[in-house]
Amino acid sequence: MSAPDRYFDNAGRDDVLSGGVKMIPIVTQSGTFKVWTKRVGNNPSLKVLLLHGGPGGTHECFEAFDSYFPGAGIEYYYYDQLGSWRSDHPEDSSLWELDRFVEEVEQVRDALGLTADDFVLLGHSWGGILAIEYALKYQRNLKALVISNMMSSVPAYNAYARDVLMPEMDPAALAEIIALEASGDIENPRYMELLIAQHYVHHVLRMEVEQWPEPVQRLFAHMNQAIYVKMQGPSELGISGDATLAAWDRTGSLSDIEVPTLVIGAQYDTMDPAFMAMMASKFPHGESLTCPSGSHLAMYDDQETYFAGLIKFLLGLDVGSRTDS
């Protein structure tokens, strides 16, 4: 999920890095680079690593968590993936592959000292894809998993956009959007103007764009479009057929993830809420949370539901038999 930075003014803050910040070296096939992390809170048995969306997004969309997690006693980690905002920005497109990002997350986990006794991985949007892939390879290191606003199948996501979301749009506006994409003219200001009116304020964040919270505006201003386009494609109405993630589908593998898992969806999401509820039933220890007033950024437009359900799940991990398996 992204919006071109040509629309939003750069409202970035160059805060002094202090308290809890750790730059972690990441070894790749193209050399060693550093990624930015920041710890908030202290809980020896509950530590949540946040995987942002995009690809190429930033940790900034998670700043809403500051209003909820500290009061609940939850330790959490902001993290900009390689190529994103405060982390290194290597100009090597071979790095923007799903398997390499999985290994990056594992190196971050190891550097932060997170273990199966305390480590919860929360992925939002593209971060949900990354979290599922990480769990399929490294669930031995996980205490629990949270998939926020992401379907486990890109083809199913594209079908939902084509069959449900697009028909809801004004036909003339949709035709113009499709024509601009087909001609490669997505730098045209008209493209973003149409998308905001027809799609963003209905399914990405259900507020007038002028009222979008400052962290969200910073997220879009700092989006790395090179990573986004390679992995997701240029379209905002699905993932393009020639993009890295176009064929990704792990629905049939969800039953292999045995750690407690919460799937969060939203009624007005860009993703199919019924599909995300179904996903929860595929996990051996899955739970579903649907935000009735929320969209893709439900942590902002349906905060009460989103955080009440998420915090209940996290604080319940050590209660009863949930962790016995």
> What are the tokens at 77?
């980690």
Active-site residue, from 2, 84, 87, 125: 125
> What are the tokens at 72?
């609940």
249 secondary structure, DSSP code:
B
Alpha helices, H only, the chain: 69-72, 98-112, 126-138, 154-160, 166-168, 171-182, 189-195, 214-221, 225-231, 273-282, 298-301, 303-315
269 among known catalytic residues: yes
Contact 264, 287 (CB under 8 A): no
**CA Rg, the chain, in Å?**
19
**Residue 201 CB contacts under 8 Å (≥ 6 apart), including other chains:** 207, 208, 209
Active-site residue, from 52, 296, 301, 302: 296
Task: Give the residue from 46, 193, 38 showing the smallest Cα distance to 116.
Answer: 46
Active-site residue, from 84, 148, 153, 269: 269
Angstrom distance (rounded) from CA 144 to CA 319: 13
> What are the tokens at 278?
């179904």
For tokens 């892939």, the residue is 133
Contact 105, 112 (CB under 8 A): no
User: Which residues are catalytically annotated?
Assistant: 125, 269, 296
